[in-house]
Amino acid sequence: MNFLSLLAVALSLVSATVAAPSCNDKKTLSQAYIGESKDVSIEYLHCSNIIHPVPEAIELKKRQTPPVDVCGAACTTNCFVPTGGGPDPNECKVIADALLYDSEAIGALFTLDPATTTSLIAMKYNSCETFITSQVTYPLQYCRNDWSTLVNYIAVNCQSTENAHGGNCVAADQRWFIQVQHS
């Protein structure tokens, strides 16, 4: 199953009350390798469509000036069942460590801006893949160390021993989510 198919499935699982957005004409804006050993692949992706916001996010946009800082925001973890085919938590830790390294080396914050740059950032190392996606039309700012923590948490808690094969963490207001899965 390719990455976009997995993204579509994940988005459909996020919420039954909000229509799942889709990424049309996916374009890789840039690809690089990060971390101390430069062994984690990172891709910045752009969709030709604007991902439409959920009603709560519209209200937040009116009260806040972009980019909206969502560092430390609560999210709900969902593990994908049944068991089998999940990423190796040790390989996911390499991604988590690369995020921490970059947090120190280039800065703690990064921005998802669907209107001008990217609505999706994906990272891979061996069997582990993680991505963060924005589901709103305005810029969101997130912390690399928070993403690192979630990668480790999901990889360990959503594996075969827990009858799962990866999972995600969806923001309480559904503006963004982070997913960890087998690459």
Model pLDDT for residues 108-133, shown as the tens digit of each residue: 999 998 877 788 899 999 999 999 98
Rg (CA), the chain: 15
Q: Is residue 17 part of a domain?
A: no
Q: Is 65 exposed, middle or buried (0-12, 13-18, 19+ CB in 10 A)?
A: exposed
Mean pLDDT, residues 9-13 taken together: 38
2, part of any domain: no
Q: Which residues, 6+ apart, have CB-to-CB distance to 54 below 8 Å?
A: 18, 135, 136, 173, 174, 175
Structural domain includes residue 127? yes
Domain boundaries, position 68: 26-182
Query: Is 20 within the bounds of a domain?
Result: no
pLDDT exceeds 50 at position 135: yes
Residue 16: inside a domain: no
Question: Residue 50 pLDDT more than 70?
Answer: no
Structural domains counted in the chain? 1
Domain-located, residue 80: yes
Is 94 part of any domain?
yes
pTM: 0.77
Residue 11, in any domain of the structure: no
